[in-house]
Chain A
């Protein structure tokens, strides 16, 4: 009976969190059509989430693309398929690794910083201060960040895709002996519009999830330094898990059958 009760309690808690996050997301989205819109906050968020994430996105994609080329080459050698390196690097980066790894890096870099920043504001009563100054925290803090992440993530993913393919290209041509012109031709000819579109749409979805989780856990943090730490940890875990789950659902939607 005790085990059943524990399971029931966990299910109810999970449903309650899903409900609260859904309401939080709906409230955030609803502010898009309810003025005012804080352009300055939006601009700052674009820079923080987009521009300053470029180095980490670039490095992640570069090394992943390079490692992918090595793996495909050595794996492909088992059935004499070494020649497919350019095509598999391209499709692997664009369809899967680009959006997922950029999403996870953004969860690590942006979700954690949003959660810690907003949780600290919550703990130090800055969120209450915003409200008493007739400024809705959802409008001022959440919407600009969530919207910025949703809009800049496809760009980051696109850049990550290109740099990942470049990483594969460098390894392929410098280390594995591929002809540069053939590598580029094979890559370009193999990729379809559908592959690229799915990558960018995944990016937008992951950006939305990453920023939403950071803001949600920040706004609902507990008290003190421990509350800030918990909020930060929970936001990154939730964002990473939801990004991977959303990736499966979107892949199923785009590429099944």
Chain B
């Protein structure tokens, strides 16, 4: 479904991606782990075309992303941003139904609102939040609204960028379970980037570890604990000592 071949990206002298190779099969949930600043977000942005790679090839459904019509291509995606990225000036339901109120997927306002409320219900929010502004909601509720927006147009592929960052452990668990359920029931292909190991265990079918701009290890979640890779071991057990350099 998604294939990255030798993808490289530098910002000035900072080489973030140094030849990333990764395949994500249709309908699977892959979690990319790695330390802060290892280029996980850049990886997702390269696939979406928000950042242009310096070299390499990215294919979605067998087609090079650079050759596909932009709107048609993006219509296949949903994305949950790290900070939610909800539009401050719009009420919650218009955030959720954003795609349904304009462009090719446009439909009557009442119908778009009904779909938005249905999606809000799906992520555990009651209809009374629909007319509130995002700033009036807690961090966990904002994350849920953002999740509802990501799934509003029933995308084939969903990206989750640090879905549990800034949430308490219970809310993190709720979001993890929601992501797992939604991805399974929609049959969507998912890529999640995180350094929260509880998310990894809850969400992943497969795990890939990004380190120093390359995929260090990739395999099914069931094999992660027995990977025998010292980098993966250090990361998943959160050890301060090991091959991954830490600044103290």
A104 vs chain B, min Cβ distance (A): 27
Kindly list chain B residues whose C-beta atoms are within 8 Å of the C-beta of A71: none
Kindly list chain B residues whose C-beta atoms are within 8 Å of the C-beta of A125: 81-83, 85
Complex Cα–Cα for A90 and B208 (A): 72
B103 within 8 A of A: yes
In the complex, which residues 41-88 of chain B have their Cβ closer than 8 Å to any Cβ of chain A?
A: 45, 48-50, 70-71, 74-75, 77-79, 81-83, 85-88
Kindly list chain B residues whose C-beta atoms are within 8 Å of the C-beta of A131: 48-50, 74
Complex Cα–Cα for A131 and B79 (A): 11
Q: How large is the interface on B (under 10, 10 to 19, 20 to 34, 35 or more residues)?
A: 20 to 34
**Are B102 and A128 in contact, with the CB atoms below 8 A?**
no
In the complex, which residues 9-38 of chain A have their Cβ closer than 8 Å to any Cβ of chain B?
A: 36, 38
In the complex, which residues 124-152 of chain A have their Cβ closer than 8 Å to any Cβ of chain B?
A: 124-126, 128-135
Kindly list chain B residues whose C-beta atoms are within 8 Å of the C-beta of A128: 45, 50, 81, 85
Kindly list chain B residues whose C-beta atoms are within 8 Å of the C-beta of A134: 70-71, 74-75, 99, 103-105
3 smallest beta-carbon distances between A and B, as pairs: A129-B85, A125-B85, A134-B74
Query: Can you list 27 A-B contacts with CB-CB less than 8 angstroms, sorted by A residue number?
Result: A36-B102, A121-B87, A125-B83, A126-B86, A126-B87, A126-B88, A128-B45, A128-B50, A128-B81, A128-B85, A129-B79, A129-B81, A129-B87, A130-B87, A131-B49, A131-B50, A132-B50, A132-B77, A132-B79, A133-B74, A133-B98, A134-B71, A134-B74, A134-B99, A134-B103, A135-B102, A135-B103
Which residues of B come within 8 Å of A, CB atoms? Answer: 45, 48-50, 70-71, 74-75, 77-79, 81-83, 85-88, 98-99, 102-105, 149
Which residues of A come within 8 Å of B, CB atoms? Answer: 36, 38, 121, 124-126, 128-135
